[in-house]
Amino acid sequence: MNQHPLIFHGEWWVPDTADLSPETTTVYYGLRAISSGGKHIGTLTYYENQDSTLGLYYTPSILYSRHDGYNDVMWGRDANGHIFTLFNVVIQDRPSGDITNTVFDVGLILYGEHVLNIEDARFSKCIVQFPYLRNWAFHDNITGSNAGSMKYFKAPLERTKLLETLHEDGTWWRLWQRHTTDKGVYDLTIQQTTEFEIEALKPQSIQTYLKQVKEFTQFLSIALYCEQNPTKIVMENCENKRTSVLLFKKYASANPGESSLIKFGLLKDKLPSMLNVWHENYDKISPISSYLIDSLDKKNQFDVPDFLIIAQALDGYHKRFVNKKEQKDIRKYDEQIKILLNQFKDVEAIKKCKINPTVLKDTRHKYSHLYPDDEKSLAVEGDDLYSLTETCKILLTCCILNMLGLTNKEINLCCNLSPISQIIDTLPFEID
């Protein structure tokens, strides 16, 4: 990531009642005081990897606390005429008596457009870039079912559509392969960028698009079996087709190398339905998949909470998806695990994991303090607890793949050609 901030000198203000109606925003007295004095000179500083700031010079001394200095939205224009909308602007604490510079934290920046608020529905399209999206949607595509085909290198078009699906709420999700050519006297270089695009049939707000960006971010993290985050988000105005850029705090993505869990090439025909299922069930699956994605990050230290998070996620999955599907209310933890293990009994990875439902139940109950410390149980600790946690991650992964509509045969293909097989090879399996 770029460590050098972007700096914009200009004038900044809170839109007054002519710009914003009371029903669409919250304006506290402190920032209204700025507005009543007109536009104020200051500097917006955007940092990629930390909170951005807005410094206003010689602002009214009435701005003395965070409660007084908050606003959902502020507008700006820099010295070059570029316009900005700032969201969630919160005043920082400042030394007593210092009136030369008032500094605000800025949650989100829209560069190129003035909007009323984050729910202002005026955008028809959102285009997102991820650092390793191409690893999944392009590399895996030509090394999977399209192995040996180099048609994408020869495509004369600027863009090639890799994937498209229409959700019931009227939004399209698409993957595009962009081709740009750098022509030199002795060289012809083709650069490729894979983009995720959301297009709505009717205007949508930044907030709506950001929710769907988060949805796909989690899906891509599961697909590549490591945490992924966007690096660029572009919004397109539905009226004039003008584009504006969202500037946000960025988080690093893990490099998946050439390995992935959900194979783009092998499952390309099934991916549209998988994305539809993901979108429809996102509110239910999101907490569960978030726990799995967070656990994939290799930490220097392993502890009991790392196990409990995954053990609880299995419980949550069973309650939200299996109980509802089977129209049963099975609450005993070991019975839930037996049902899940039986569901994947012909998946090679699960057979190798050798998960004992009683051991898993006793271990979960012990560290959740559901058993007295002196009660006899089969709970494990130390290296065995680590191994149990890793095998539970694999079981949880199979559950998510099943929820997406994959058969056990397809789950087998995913597990056998992914980092899961490498994880299994490193475990001693002495916990059964």
pLDDT tens digits, 294-306: 999 877 788 999 9
Q: Which of 110-119, 208-217, 419-428 comes out lowest in average pLDDT? A: 419-428
335 lies in which domain range? 296-426
Residues 212 and 127 in one domain: yes
Question: Is 221 a domain residue?
Answer: yes
218 or 258: whose pLDDT is higher? 218
C-beta separation of 209 from 94 below 8 A: no
Please say if the pLDDT value at position 35 is more than 70.
Answer: no
Mean pLDDT confidence for 77-101: 83
Domain count, the chain: 3
Question: Is 289 a domain residue?
Answer: no
Question: Is 179 a domain residue?
Answer: yes
Question: Is 278 a domain residue?
Answer: no
Residues 47 and 146 in one domain: no
Residues 214 and 315 in one domain: no
Averaged pLDDT of the chain: 84
Band of the pLDDT at 407, cuts 50, 70, 90? very high
Residues 254 and 130 in one domain: yes
Domain end position, chosen among 111, 138, 168? 111
The DSSP 8-state label assigned to residue 139 in this structure reads I
DSSP bridge pairs for 181: 190
Residues 414 and 371 in one domain: yes
Band of the pLDDT at 96, cuts 50, 70, 90? low
Q: What is the 3-state composition of the chain as percent helix, strand, coil, each rounded to the nearest 5?
A: 35, 25, 40
pTM of the complete model:
0.87
Residues 331 and 414 in one domain: yes
Residues 189 and 253 in one domain: yes
Mean pLDDT confidence for 354-376: 86
246: closest CA among 210, 220, 219?
210
| Distance from C-alpha of 379 to C-alpha of 362, rounded to nearest angstrom | 5
Question: Is 59 a domain residue?
Answer: yes
Question: Is 404 a domain residue?
Answer: yes
Q: Quick one: how far is CA 171 from the chain centroid?
A: 18
pLDDT for residue 259: 83
Q: Where are the beta strands (DSSP E) in 118-247?
A: 123-129, 159-166, 171-183, 188-204, 232-237, 243-247
Band of the pLDDT at 171, cuts 50, 70, 90? very high
Residues 214 and 320 in one domain: no
Residues 66 and 96 in one domain: yes
The DSSP 8-state label assigned to residue 196 in this structure reads E
C-beta separation of 192 from 385 below 8 A: no
pLDDT for residue 143: 42
Question: Is 409 a domain residue?
Answer: yes
Band of the pLDDT at 192, cuts 50, 70, 90? confident
Mean pLDDT confidence for 77-104: 83
Mean pLDDT confidence for 335-353: 95
Q: Which of 11-20, 209-218, 234-243 comes out lowest in average pLDDT? A: 11-20
Q: Where are the beta strands (DSSP E) in 289-423?
A: none
The DSSP 8-state label assigned to residue 375 in this structure reads S
Share of the chain above pLDDT 90, in %: 64
pLDDT for residue 87: 96
Q: Which of 16-20, 178-182, 394-398 has the highest mean pLDDT?
A: 394-398
Residues 337 and 413 in one domain: yes
Band of the pLDDT at 1, cuts 50, 70, 90? low
In the block, tokens 């690096």 appear at 231
Domain end position, chosen among 111, 137, 154? 111
Residues 50 and 93 in one domain: yes
Q: What tokens does 145 get? A: 């079912």
Residues 148 and 30 in one domain: no
pLDDT for residue 186: 54
Please say if the pLDDT value at position 34 is more than 70.
Answer: no
Mean pLDDT confidence for 357-380: 86
